[in-house]
Amino acid sequence: MFLDIQKIPAEGLRFDQLLALPPLTGPGGETLRPQGVRLSGSAAPGGRGVDLRAHLDADLTLTCGRCLDPVPFPVSTDLALILVPEEPAAEAGAEIDVTDDDAALFACPEGKCDLGALATEQIYLSLPLKPLCSDACLGLCPKCGQNRNRASCDCQREEIDPRLAPLLEFKKTPSRS
């Protein structure tokens, strides 16, 4: 759905949309399929453009960064954005002054706000860099690949300080006497 920001009435406009978003790419490069994406809120003419106040709900399934199990990840976030017509791109090398107020701007090409693109951007902003199934996740055994949350393995766990790991190369090379 598109909102024509040049045709928003003075009294504003309310919307409540179920959106079908295309697959997204998750933090680990996995494919995410957003389900139940609902964007509801209002848009009204404001000082710099159109003031958008909305709420976004979506359900995703991420992959745990330690054990690779699926992790349900609900997105529920409030939005306060200013919809503005897209401005021509600045010349290469030109300096642009960016203020804190500019962080709330959402550019709308040809004066039309794509609610799907807006929802996609907000979902990406909500994603954790490294999703975990729990803070206590033990991950996979680096030797045999066993998920240590489900069962333990008999592999020897050799703790090596990563700062000293390059010195192991000296241990592996035959000594010259």
Q: Domain coordinates of the chain in residue numbers?
A: 2-126
For 33-89, the pLDDT digits (tens) are 999 999 999 999 988 889 999 999 999 999 999 999 999 999 999 999 999 987 655
Strand order, beta sheet including 13-19? 13-19, 35-45, 50-63, 70-85, 105-108
For 105-158, the pLDDT digits (tens) are 888 988 899 999 999 999 999 999 999 999 999 999 988 899 999 998 888 777
Residue matched to tokens 């729990």:
134
Q: Which of 59, 45, 28 is nearest to 132 (CA)?
A: 28
Cα(44)–Cα(10) distance, integer angstroms: 7
pLDDT value at position 28?
80
